[in-house]
Amino acid sequence: MTIKTFTFSPFQVNTYVVSDETKEAVLIDAGCYTVQEQQILKQYIDQNELTLVRVINTHLHLDHHFGNKFIYDTYKIKPEAGEEDEFMIKGFQNMALFYRLSVGEAQELRKHIIDNEVIEFGNSSLVAIHAPGHSPGSMMFYSEKDSILFAGDVLFQGSIGRTDLPNGDHATLMKSLTDKVLPLPDSTVVYSGHGASTTIGDEKKSNPYL
Protein backbone atom coordinates (compact mmCIF):
# COMPACT_ATOMS: atom_id res chain seq x y z
CA MET A 1 0.00 0.00 0.00
CA THR A 2 0.95 3.60 -0.57
CA ILE A 3 -0.13 5.87 2.28
CA LYS A 4 -0.25 9.64 1.80
CA THR A 5 -0.84 11.68 4.94
CA PHE A 6 -2.27 15.19 5.02
CA THR A 7 -2.72 17.25 8.17
CA PHE A 8 -5.67 19.59 7.88
CA SER A 9 -7.80 22.18 9.70
CA PRO A 10 -7.27 23.99 13.01
CA PHE A 11 -7.66 20.60 14.70
CA GLN A 12 -4.60 19.22 12.88
CA VAL A 13 -6.44 16.08 11.86
CA ASN A 14 -4.71 13.43 9.76
CA THR A 15 -6.33 12.58 6.44
CA TYR A 16 -5.07 9.46 4.67
CA VAL A 17 -5.23 8.50 1.01
CA VAL A 18 -4.43 4.79 0.76
CA SER A 19 -3.80 3.27 -2.65
CA ASP A 20 -2.00 0.41 -4.34
CA GLU A 21 -0.48 -0.44 -7.70
CA THR A 22 -3.93 -0.60 -9.36
CA LYS A 23 -4.43 3.14 -8.67
CA GLU A 24 -7.61 2.42 -6.74
CA ALA A 25 -7.74 4.23 -3.41
CA VAL A 26 -9.72 4.77 -0.24
CA LEU A 27 -9.88 8.07 1.60
CA ILE A 28 -9.83 7.91 5.40
CA ASP A 29 -11.15 10.92 7.35
CA ALA A 30 -11.52 13.75 4.86
CA GLY A 31 -10.52 16.55 7.21
CA CYS A 32 -9.86 19.28 4.63
CA TYR A 33 -11.49 22.48 5.89
CA THR A 34 -10.34 25.38 3.73
CA VAL A 35 -10.57 25.71 -0.03
CA GLN A 36 -6.79 25.53 -0.18
CA GLU A 37 -6.79 22.25 1.75
CA GLN A 38 -9.50 20.86 -0.50
CA GLN A 39 -7.42 21.65 -3.57
CA ILE A 40 -4.27 20.12 -2.06
CA LEU A 41 -6.15 16.87 -1.54
CA LYS A 42 -7.76 16.95 -4.98
CA GLN A 43 -4.43 17.71 -6.63
CA TYR A 44 -2.81 14.66 -5.06
CA ILE A 45 -5.65 12.38 -6.14
CA ASP A 46 -5.83 13.74 -9.67
CA GLN A 47 -2.11 14.07 -10.35
CA ASN A 48 -1.53 10.48 -9.25
CA GLU A 49 -4.46 9.35 -11.41
CA LEU A 50 -6.10 7.65 -8.46
CA THR A 51 -9.64 6.31 -8.54
CA LEU A 52 -11.41 6.78 -5.25
CA VAL A 53 -13.62 3.79 -4.56
CA ARG A 54 -14.65 4.47 -0.96
CA VAL A 55 -14.58 7.31 1.54
CA ILE A 56 -14.50 5.97 5.09
CA ASN A 57 -14.52 7.62 8.48
CA THR A 58 -12.94 6.37 11.66
CA HIS A 59 -15.62 8.40 13.47
CA LEU A 60 -17.76 11.47 12.96
CA HIS A 61 -16.41 14.15 15.24
CA LEU A 62 -16.60 17.22 13.03
CA ASP A 63 -12.87 17.55 12.33
CA HIS A 64 -12.78 14.11 10.73
CA HIS A 65 -15.44 14.86 8.13
CA PHE A 66 -15.06 18.53 7.25
CA GLY A 67 -14.25 17.48 3.68
CA ASN A 68 -16.87 14.82 3.05
CA LYS A 69 -19.24 17.21 1.27
CA PHE A 70 -16.41 18.50 -0.95
CA ILE A 71 -15.41 14.95 -1.84
CA TYR A 72 -18.97 14.07 -2.74
CA ASP A 73 -19.40 17.21 -4.84
CA THR A 74 -16.11 16.49 -6.62
CA TYR A 75 -16.07 12.70 -6.99
CA LYS A 76 -19.71 11.72 -6.31
CA ILE A 77 -18.72 9.30 -3.57
CA LYS A 78 -20.66 9.41 -0.31
CA PRO A 79 -18.88 8.65 2.96
CA GLU A 80 -19.29 5.66 5.23
CA ALA A 81 -19.03 5.42 9.02
CA GLY A 82 -20.24 3.48 12.02
CA GLU A 83 -23.98 3.73 12.58
CA GLU A 84 -23.58 4.74 16.23
CA ASP A 85 -21.89 8.00 15.16
CA GLU A 86 -24.46 9.07 12.59
CA PHE A 87 -26.21 11.37 15.08
CA MET A 88 -23.19 13.71 14.85
CA ILE A 89 -24.07 14.60 11.27
CA LYS A 90 -27.20 16.40 12.43
CA GLY A 91 -25.20 18.29 15.04
CA PHE A 92 -22.37 19.20 12.67
CA GLN A 93 -23.20 22.89 12.22
CA ASN A 94 -23.96 23.51 15.90
CA MET A 95 -20.70 21.88 16.93
CA ALA A 96 -18.81 24.00 14.41
CA LEU A 97 -20.41 27.13 15.85
CA PHE A 98 -19.24 26.06 19.30
CA TYR A 99 -15.68 26.21 17.95
CA ARG A 100 -16.46 29.43 16.06
CA LEU A 101 -16.04 27.76 12.70
CA SER A 102 -18.15 28.26 9.60
CA VAL A 103 -19.36 25.15 7.76
CA GLY A 104 -22.11 24.17 5.39
CA GLU A 105 -24.34 21.13 5.77
CA ALA A 106 -22.68 17.83 6.52
CA GLN A 107 -22.64 15.14 3.85
CA GLU A 108 -25.02 12.28 4.54
CA LEU A 109 -23.68 8.74 4.63
CA ARG A 110 -23.89 6.20 1.84
CA LYS A 111 -23.88 3.26 4.23
CA HIS A 112 -22.84 2.11 7.68
CA ILE A 113 -19.57 0.34 8.26
CA ILE A 114 -19.95 -2.75 10.44
CA ASP A 115 -17.48 -4.61 12.63
CA ASN A 116 -15.25 -7.02 10.67
CA GLU A 117 -16.35 -5.59 7.32
CA VAL A 118 -13.71 -6.02 4.62
CA ILE A 119 -13.08 -2.82 2.69
CA GLU A 120 -11.54 -3.71 -0.66
CA PHE A 121 -9.74 -1.53 -3.17
CA GLY A 122 -7.52 -2.72 -5.99
CA ASN A 123 -5.53 -5.71 -4.76
CA SER A 124 -5.72 -4.54 -1.16
CA SER A 125 -8.14 -4.65 1.73
CA LEU A 126 -8.69 -3.25 5.21
CA VAL A 127 -10.76 -4.86 7.95
CA ALA A 128 -13.01 -2.59 10.00
CA ILE A 129 -12.71 -3.02 13.78
CA HIS A 130 -15.36 -1.43 15.98
CA ALA A 131 -13.53 0.22 18.89
CA PRO A 132 -15.95 2.45 20.83
CA GLY A 133 -15.07 4.75 23.70
CA HIS A 134 -13.78 7.92 22.11
CA SER A 135 -17.07 7.89 20.24
CA PRO A 136 -19.71 5.15 20.17
CA GLY A 137 -19.17 4.36 16.50
CA SER A 138 -15.38 4.58 16.33
CA MET A 139 -13.88 2.29 13.71
CA MET A 140 -10.28 1.29 13.11
CA PHE A 141 -9.05 -0.12 9.80
CA TYR A 142 -6.48 -2.91 9.84
CA SER A 143 -4.33 -4.66 7.27
CA GLU A 144 -2.69 -7.79 8.62
CA LYS A 145 -0.82 -8.25 5.35
CA ASP A 146 0.75 -4.80 5.47
CA SER A 147 0.91 -4.65 9.28
CA ILE A 148 -0.82 -1.26 9.53
CA LEU A 149 -3.67 0.09 11.64
CA PHE A 150 -5.59 3.29 11.02
CA ALA A 151 -6.64 3.91 14.59
CA GLY A 152 -8.56 7.17 14.37
CA ASP A 153 -8.65 8.78 17.79
CA VAL A 154 -8.54 5.50 19.71
CA LEU A 155 -4.76 5.47 20.16
CA PHE A 156 -2.08 8.13 19.74
CA GLN A 157 1.66 8.20 20.17
CA GLY A 158 1.97 8.42 23.94
CA SER A 159 -1.73 8.95 24.56
CA ILE A 160 -5.28 7.74 23.93
CA GLY A 161 -8.46 9.39 22.71
CA ARG A 162 -10.31 11.82 24.95
CA THR A 163 -13.59 10.63 26.41
CA ASP A 164 -15.06 13.88 27.72
CA LEU A 165 -16.93 14.63 24.50
CA PRO A 166 -20.63 13.69 24.14
CA ASN A 167 -21.15 9.90 24.28
CA GLY A 168 -17.50 9.23 25.09
CA ASP A 169 -16.74 6.70 27.82
CA HIS A 170 -13.35 6.00 29.37
CA ALA A 171 -14.08 2.46 30.53
CA THR A 172 -15.36 1.54 27.08
CA LEU A 173 -12.27 3.00 25.42
CA MET A 174 -9.96 1.07 27.74
CA LYS A 175 -11.83 -2.13 26.90
CA SER A 176 -11.43 -1.41 23.20
CA LEU A 177 -7.70 -0.86 23.68
CA THR A 178 -7.35 -4.05 25.74
CA ASP A 179 -9.48 -6.26 23.51
CA LYS A 180 -8.94 -4.82 20.04
CA VAL A 181 -5.60 -2.96 19.92
CA LEU A 182 -3.10 -4.55 22.29
CA PRO A 183 -3.52 -8.09 20.87
CA LEU A 184 -2.23 -6.90 17.48
CA PRO A 185 1.42 -7.68 16.62
CA ASP A 186 3.98 -5.32 18.16
CA SER A 187 5.30 -4.51 14.69
CA THR A 188 1.95 -3.05 13.59
CA VAL A 189 2.37 0.57 12.47
CA VAL A 190 -0.35 2.79 13.89
CA TYR A 191 -1.60 5.76 11.87
CA SER A 192 -3.61 7.91 14.25
CA GLY A 193 -6.19 10.62 13.75
CA HIS A 194 -3.77 13.24 15.07
CA GLY A 195 -0.01 13.36 15.51
CA ALA A 196 2.80 11.09 14.41
CA SER A 197 2.63 7.41 13.57
CA THR A 198 3.83 4.84 16.08
CA THR A 199 3.81 1.07 16.61
CA ILE A 200 1.86 -1.19 18.94
CA GLY A 201 5.15 -2.36 20.50
CA ASP A 202 6.35 1.17 21.22
CA GLU A 203 3.04 2.10 22.84
CA LYS A 204 3.10 -1.00 25.05
CA LYS A 205 6.52 0.11 26.31
CA SER A 206 6.01 3.83 26.79
CA ASN A 207 2.33 4.84 26.66
CA PRO A 208 1.34 5.72 30.26
CA TYR A 209 -2.31 4.85 29.58
CA LEU A 210 -1.48 1.30 28.57
Task: Give the confidence band of 94 by pLDDT, cuts at 50, 70, 90.
Answer: confident
**pLDDT tens digits, one per residue of 64-74:** 999 999 999 99
The three-point CA angle 180-183-187 to 5° equals 115
Closest to 159 in 3D by CA, of 141, 173, 138: 173
Q: In the structure, what pLDDT confidence band is assigned to residue 196 with cuts at 50, 70 and 90?
A: very high
Write out the H or E segment, with its range, that includes residue 4: strand 2-8
Q: Quick one: pLDDT band at residue 166, thresholds 50, 70, 90?
A: confident
What pLDDT is attached to residue 165? Answer: 87
Question: What's the average model confidence in pLDDT over 183-187?
Answer: 98
Helix (H, G, I), strand (E, B) or coil at 131: coil
State the amino acid at position 11 in one-letter form: F
Q: Report pLDDT for 67.
A: 96
- Supply the pTM of this predicted model: 0.96
Q: Give all domains of the chain, ordered by start, each with its CATH number.
A: 2-206 (3.60.15.10)
**Residues of the chain above pLDDT 70, percent:** 100
Residue 203 has pLDDT above 90, yes or no: yes
The predicted pLDDT at position 105 comes to 86
